């Protein structure tokens, strides 16, 4: 915003913060949060070891060193207290919304330099109102309330900073501002690869509103983007390599499937923006995902027709064409054209992608309210205020969906589309961890009926039965999981512990040995073996196992506590 109205982005940031305030009461959920934070000892601190790990890891299939550095700083401040991570997400979201005000104003001003002059306050307020509606919208909840989703927020922050730097480059010195744009783009990619589409967005800005893409300088415009495109290609390659085991091949998902999913997602975020009901933590794949299915065919036709229309009228309405194409570009990496994971779509994917539509809506509302300070202005203000309150109320409710793991998977079953066995299994695990054993057993039973070939459900069901001291039945379930997935380390450990609880020490040691062979880096298996040696009356061997466990993972409290009881000096060393 201009220097005359700095309170507008500040007010928008405050609304964005307040809209999702209930997340401060939320837990970390057992959907990546446990792997990323609770059980991940690598990020705990800011020593050279943690910093080096941040830049060398593809933990949970992503490369995001800047985000890991930010997580490490949060650990120093908050430990593993959930509210600290949620607070930081809230602050990032608020900062993003203040930046979106600045980006919107800058783009609108470049499109029409005198646009704010007829009614500067009214049009600035129009930008603030539209961004505020976007900021408090419940479709933003997943990105703010899910701790593991936090990397999207700094990435989008640096993405917007890069846009502002690029829009400033025309006013000189251009090379310096292009260098700043490149550096900010690099930061955005290092936070999350979702920013990889920035070079295409910059080219689109060159066409409109900058109008630099002329016959005379078209080559120069493209040439200066080559470093950006190369950097984007590098990170896209890293992202693909990290997710290589879950990216679907053309045999698994052909063009029909990909176009169907991408078309549905393109329409989905627009509809949910207008009518944000039945938002889900997890949108399941339908039983039949093909372009010939009426719903997906209708979505594909709608996308094609809209694109054709805006391109046909691009000379008359360049702002609409630019906003629509930017939406398609920003959504493309997560639309399903490159298919990974088992979700049809996700609320977080609409966070960055729908921002161009915010700029378009802000310009439209500003033009509408200009010069209408009377009754119509009051009516529009009242309508905007009512919409803000309504959206904030829905967002507060949506925050509770992410309160804990049980709430996450209950919502997925209720609103996420077809109920698959794996979701019942995840809910069963959450209910088990919450001590609701009877409900958990019911969910596992349903999950196995629907997905009897899923080793995770068999394994987690076995853990439940072990918690209920039904170790004989648990043995069968763990063996079934291993039969389906022989290299499942967790199942081997669980089977070994079940043998140990039944007094069967030899088969327990055999399972732990196999587990260590499959993953020599785990420390937990040495705790399990140490327990066996204690039961055998061999404390010296147990001490060696607990020491090895701490060498591999210095945050294993059980190993440390047992060493203190068995041999204080090794524990102190």
| Mean pLDDT across 349-367 | 94
Judged against a pLDDT cut of 90, whether residue 556 lies above it is answered with no
> Tell me, what's the pLDDT at 412?
94
Judged against a pLDDT cut of 60, whether residue 570 lies above it is answered with no
| Mean pLDDT across 277-291 | 91
DSSP 8-state code for residue 348: G
**Of 88 and 536, which is predicted with more confidence?**
88
| Mean pLDDT across 448-452 | 93
Distance CA 517, CA 509 (A): 12
| pLDDT tens-digit map of 184-197 | 999 999 999 999 99
| Mean pLDDT across 509-514 | 93
| pLDDT tens-digit map of 326-351 | 999 999 999 888 777 778 999 999 99
Residues 6+ apart with CB under 8 A from 421: 446, 447, 448, 449, 450, 451, 452, 454, 457
Judged against a pLDDT cut of 60, whether residue 136 lies above it is answered with yes
Judged against a pLDDT cut of 60, whether residue 3 lies above it is answered with no
> Tell me, what's the pLDDT at 113?
86
Distance CA 465, CA 445 (A): 12
> Tell me, what's the pLDDT at 568?
58
CB–CB of 560/570 below 8 Å? Answer: no
Q: For the chain, what percent of residues have pLDDT higher than 70? A: 95
Cα dihedral 132, 136, 140, 143, rounded to 10, equals 100
| Mean pLDDT across 485-514 | 93
> Tell me, what's the pLDDT at 373?
55
Judged against a pLDDT cut of 90, whether residue 375 lies above it is answered with no
Q: For the chain, what percent of residues have pLDDT higher than 90? A: 75
Average confidence score pLDDT of the chain? 91
> Tell me, what's the pLDDT at 372?
59
CB–CB of 62/155 below 8 Å? Answer: no
Judged against a pLDDT cut of 90, whether residue 128 lies above it is answered with yes
> Tell me, what's the pLDDT at 537?
87
> Tell me, what's the pLDDT at 572?
42
Enumerate the domain spans of the chain.
Answer: 7-242+253-400, 407-572
| pLDDT tens-digit map of 383-441 | 888 999 999 999 999 999 999 999 999 999 999 888 889 999 999 999 999 999 999 99
* Cα–Cα distances in angstroms (integers) from residue 500 to residues 472, 503, 531, 556, in the given order: 11, 5, 9, 20
> Tell me, what's the pLDDT at 548?
93
Judged against a pLDDT cut of 60, whether residue 1 lies above it is answered with no
Lowest mean pLDDT among 375-384, 423-432, 520-529: 375-384
CB–CB of 542/530 below 8 Å? Answer: yes
**Of 505 and 86, which is predicted with more confidence?**
86
| Mean pLDDT across 483-499 | 94
| Mean pLDDT across 62-90 | 96
If one looks up domain 407-572 in CATH, what number appears? 1.25.40.10
**Of 538 and 87, which is predicted with more confidence?**
87
Judged against a pLDDT cut of 50, whether residue 571 lies above it is answered with no
Residues 6+ apart with CB under 8 A from 132: 11, 12, 15, 16, 97, 388
Establish whether the linkage from the previous residue to 209 is cis, with ω within 30° of 0. Answer: yes
| Mean pLDDT across 294-298 | 95
* Residue 247 banded pLDDT, cuts 50, 70, 90: low
- Cα 197–334–403 angle (5° rounding)? 120
CB–CB of 266/335 below 8 Å? Answer: yes
| pLDDT tens-digit map of 188-227 | 999 999 999 999 999 999 999 999 988 888 899 999 999 9
> Tell me, what's the pLDDT at 378?
66
| Mean pLDDT across 228-250 | 78
Lowest mean pLDDT among 13-22, 140-149, 315-324, 359-368: 359-368
pTM: 0.93
3-state secondary structure of 284: strand
> Tell me, what's the pLDDT at 331?
96
Judged against a pLDDT cut of 70, whether residue 252 lies above it is answered with no
């Amino acid at each position: 915003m201009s220097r005359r109205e700095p309170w507008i982005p500040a007010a928008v940031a405050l609304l964005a913060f307040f809209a999702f305030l209930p997340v401060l009461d939320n837990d970390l959920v057992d959907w990546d949060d446990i792997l990323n934070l609770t059980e991940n000892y690598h990020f705990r601190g800011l020593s050279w070891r943690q910093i080096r790990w941040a830049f060398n890891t593809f933990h949970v299939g992503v490369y995001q060193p800047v985000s890991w550095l930010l997580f490490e700083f949060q650990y120093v401040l908050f430990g593993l207290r959930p509210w600290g991570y949620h607070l930081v997400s809230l602050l990032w979201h608020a900062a993003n919304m203040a930046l979106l005000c600045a980006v919107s104003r800058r783009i609108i001003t470049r499109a029409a330099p005198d646009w704010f002059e007829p009614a500067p306050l009214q049009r600035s307020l129009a930008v603030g109102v539209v961004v505020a509606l976007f900021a408090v919208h419940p479709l933003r909840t997943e990105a703010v309330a899910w701790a593991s989703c936090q990397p999207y927020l700094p990435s989008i922050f640096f993405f917007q900073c890069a846009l502002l730097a690029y829009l400033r480059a025309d006013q000189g010195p251009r090379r310096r501002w292009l260098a700043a744009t490149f550096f900010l783009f690099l930061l955005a990619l290092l936070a999350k690869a979702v920013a990889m589409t920035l070079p295409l967005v910059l080219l689109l800005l060159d066409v409109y509103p900058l109008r630099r893409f002329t016959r005379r300088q078209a080559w120069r415009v493209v040439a200066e983007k080559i470093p950006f495109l190369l950097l984007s290609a590098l990170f896209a390659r890293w992202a693909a390599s990290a997710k290589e085991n879950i990216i679907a091949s053309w045999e698994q998902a052909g063009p029909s499937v990909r176009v169907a999913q991408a078309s549905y997602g393109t329409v989905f975020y627009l509809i949910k923006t207008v009518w944000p009901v039945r938002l889900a933590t997890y949108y399941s794949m339908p039983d039949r995902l093909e372009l010939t299915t009426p719903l997906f065919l209708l979505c594909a036709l709608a996308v094609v027709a809209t694109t054709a229309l805006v391109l046909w009228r691009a000379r008359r309405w360049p702002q609409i064409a630019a906003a629509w194409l930017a939406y398609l570009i920003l959504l493309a990496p997560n639309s399903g054209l490159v298919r990974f994971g088992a979700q049809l779509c996700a609320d977080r994917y609409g966070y960055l992608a729908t921002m161009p539509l915010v700029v378009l809506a802000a310009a439209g509302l500003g033009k509408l309210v200009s010069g209408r300070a009377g009754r119509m202005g009051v009516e529009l203000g009242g309508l905007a205020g009512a919409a803000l309150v309504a959206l904030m109320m829905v967002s507060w409710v949506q925050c509770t969906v992410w309160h804990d793991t049980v709430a996450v998977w209950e919502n997925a079953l209720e609103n996420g589309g077809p109920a698959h066995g794996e979701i019942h299994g995840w809910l069963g695990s959450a209910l088990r961890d919450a001590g609701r054993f009877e409900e958990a057993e019911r969910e596992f039973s349903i999950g196995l009926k629907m997905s009897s070939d899923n080793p995770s459900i068999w394994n987690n069901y076995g853990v439940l039965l072990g918690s209920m001291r039904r170790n004989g039945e648990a043995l069968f379930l763990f063996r079934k999981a291993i039969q389906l997935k022989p290299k499942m380390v967790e199942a081997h450990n669980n089977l070994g512990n079940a043998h140990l609880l039944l007094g069967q020490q030899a088969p327990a040691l055999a399972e732990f040995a196999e587990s260590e062979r499959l993953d020599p880096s785990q420390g937990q298996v040495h705790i399990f073996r140490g327990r066996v040696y204690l039961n055998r009356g061999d404390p010296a061997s147990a001490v060696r196992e607990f020491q090895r466990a701490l060498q591999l993972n210095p945050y294993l409290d059980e190993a440390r506590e047992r060493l203190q009881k068995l041999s204080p000096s090794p524990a102190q060393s």
